[in-house]
Amino acid sequence: MTKTIIIYESIYGNTKEVADAIAEGIRESGVIECTVAKTREVHHTDDLAGFDAIIFGSPNHNQEPSRNMLKFIERASIVHLDPKVGAAFDTYTGGNKGIAVKKLEQVVRQKMSCITFVIDSFSALVEDRKGPLSEGELNRAIEFGKQVAAKILA
C-alpha cells in the first residue's frame, strides 16, 4: 500500500485538526495509508524513507513557518531520501493567507531536494490566535486530502 505521512507543528491544536482532516481525506482513497505525526514524534528522520509522500503543515508564526517545523526540516535534510511526492499547508489568522506555507515550500525545496510538490498549498483560517478554525475549514481540509490522494496515485 502507498504510504503517506503528515508532519505538522501546532501550539493550540488547530493545525493538528487540519492535519487529521487531510489524513481523513487521503484515507478515503482506500489505498493509501496515512500517518499523522508532530515534528517531535519523528525521532529518526531516516524513517521517512518508508513513505512515498510527505505532507508538511505549520501554523503561521510571524509570517514564517514555526521554528520547530524549520528545525525539523533541518534535521530531515541530512538524510538521503529517494524522490517523494510533497504537499504543504498552513493555518493563519487575518490577512496572511498562504504566506507561511509558501516559505515552508521554499525551505523544503532548498533543504530536501527529494520532495516534489504536486499540488498547490492549502491554507486554513483560524478565527483567533488560539482558534477555533473558521466554519467549513475542516471540510475544505478533507477535500484537500482527497485531491492529494489523487495526485499521489496519478
Ligand X SMILES: Cc1cc2nc3c(=O)[nH]c(=O)nc-3n(C[C@H](O)[C@H](O)[C@H](O)COP(=O)(O)O)c2cc1C
Interacting residue ranges for ligand X, rule: CB under 6 A: 10-15, 59-63, 91-94, 96, 126, 129, 131
Closest to ligand X by CB, 4 or 14? 14
Closest to ligand X by CB, 2 or 93? 93
Closest to ligand X by CB, 14 or 121? 14
Closest to ligand X by CB, 12 or 117? 12
Minimum Å gap between C-beta 115 and ligand X is: 22
Minimum Å gap between C-beta 46 and ligand X is: 27
In DSSP terms, 90 is beta-bridged to 58, 123
Q: List the one residue out of 61, 65, 143, 142 whose CA is nearest residue 111.
A: 65
Q: List the one residue out of 68, 81, 63, 60 whose CA is nearest residue 124.
A: 60
> Which set of grid coordinates corresponds to residue 128?
483567533
Minimum Å gap between C-beta 50 and ligand X is: 26
| CA angle in degrees (0–180, nearest 5) for 40-124-22 | 60
Minimum Å gap between C-beta 51 and ligand X is: 22
**Amino acid sitting at position 68:** N
DSSP state, residue 134: P
